[in-house]
Structure 1
Amino acid sequence: MNLIWATRGRRWGFRFLLNGGFSDPLPKYEEAFSDVGDETEVFHRIGELVALRFPDPLEREDAAGRVIPHDFVVFGPLTEEIDSVEDGLRLIWCRPEVADEFARVWDSAKPPAANG
């Protein structure tokens, strides 16, 4: 899948849940989010990458009471269909490997391992 996803859970800190097939997704993540800052919602196109950030659609919170953010780096053909945060919600969040997986793991005591 052409998708890197970083987020946090209720009791586990910020980590990659999808690695886009990279053994180390951090360089691509840093490239995509290099000019973004800490805005709550982000749509940022840089070269052939799209950086997306939005708060959890179900307003789930971490143990400190903060709404959990979801950061995505999208690459490949799907980037041509994303021109806004709303497009990202519609095209990325609705995927079972995203929404369903987060519903399964967000309240876990231990963080899940990243996968491709």
Structure 2
Amino acid sequence: MSLMWATRGRFWGLRFLRTGGFTDPLPVYDDVFSGVGDESEIWRRVGDKGALRFPDPLGRRDRAGRMIPHDFVVFGPLADEIDSVEDGLRRVWPQVADEFAQIWKLPTLPSANK
């Protein structure tokens, strides 16, 4: 699955957990999420990519009590299968849920997966 994933944990701030294969994922992320603002849920197509954001499905919060958002840039055929936040949640979250469950409480973040 080709995707970029940025989120935060209980003790660490917003970080890329998956880079989508980009050495520097920030320009791609900024391009796809530009103009989205602080919306808690979003699905938006930008060319052949999609911006997907939803709050943590289990309601987890960081140590300051803030909701944990999950931001994804979705590429390729997967982006074509998503038409809404609900579609994205069903198709993307099962691919990363176990990974997040293992790391969200860590005091520091492991290095990003490509």
> Same fold by TM (over 0.5)?
yes
Residue 99 of structure 2 is aligned to residue 101 of structure 1: yes
- Give RMSD over aligned pairs: 0.7
Partner of 1:20 in structure 2?
A: 20
Q: Residues of 2 paired with 1:8 and 1:113: CA distance?
A: 13
Q: For 1:6, what is the secondary structure of its paired residue?
A: strand
Instruction: Return structure 1 stretches of 4+ with deviation > 4 angstroms.
Output: none
| TM-score when normalising by structure 1 | 0.96
Partner of 1:71 in structure 2?
A: 71
How many pairs are equivalent?
114
Structure 2: stretches of 5+ with no match in the other structure? none
Using the TM superposition, give the Cα deviation of residue 35 of structure 1 relative to its aligned residue in structure 2, in angstroms. 2.1
- Return the letter of the residue paired with 1:107: K
Identity score, percent: 66
| TM-score when normalising by structure 2 | 0.97
Q: Residues of 1 paired with 2:63 and 2:93: CA distance?
A: 22
Partner of 1:114 in structure 2?
A: 112
1:28-84 deviations in whole A, cap 9, x for unaligned?
100110121110000111111100000000000100011100000001111110000
